[in-house]
A = this chain, B = another copy of it.
Amino acid sequence: MLKLTKRTEYGLIALVHLADQAAAAPEGTLAEVVSARAIGDQFPIPRRLLAESLKALQAGGLVDSTRGSQGGYRLARAAESISLGEIVTVLEGAPSLTSCAGLGAASAGGGCDVEPVCPIRSPLARLRSGIWALLEGVSLQALADRSVNPVALFSAAS
């Protein structure tokens, strides 16, 4: 199914929220941490699942967490440096692009070493590779910027 899971949706909601928070922080200072509860209260979504997504984002190193009372989350890096592809990878695992697996940069060594332009590559692999490249090209920053329209989101990326 060519669609994002709820887990990813909630995670994105949270990330956009955290990006807003970071943008609102005074120059050069760290943004205040935001609790899962605080984020959840602003959207009609199961708070608990939102928390699950945040946990996953923490495990994936996209956000930093502070425990205890007054604890919460904060972006671990600048919103411009977090790509959509990375977010999706963290939240729903590396996409299983079948054989010739792992396109893009990551793909650990094994097999198909003629990576760049493998002529045997099926249209499917090319398609997925294209979609993936797009996701890698869109930053959280762009996503959080509400002035950009959906299509420009991508076409501007290339």
User: Does A97 count as interface, using CB distance less than 8 angstroms?
Assistant: yes
Task: Please tell me if the beta carbons of B150 and A9 are within 8 angstroms of each other in the complex.
Answer: no
In the bound complex, what is the Cα–Cα distance between A44 and B99 (angstroms)? 13
Q: Chain A binding site: helix, strand, loop or mixed by DSSP?
A: helix
Task: Please tell me if the beta carbons of A158 and B151 are within 8 angstroms of each other in the complex.
Answer: yes
In the bound complex, what is the Cα–Cα distance between A77 and B25 (angstroms)? 55
Task: Count contacts on A: residues with CB < 8 A to the other chain.
Answer: 47
In the bound complex, what is the Cα–Cα distance between A139 and B149 (angstroms)? 22
Task: Please tell me if the beta carbons of A119 and B92 are within 8 angstroms of each other in the complex.
Answer: no
In the bound complex, what is the Cα–Cα distance between A149 and B44 (angstroms)? 41
A–B pairs, 5, beta carbons within 8 Å: A1-B5, A2-B8, A2-B95, A44-B107, A134-B134
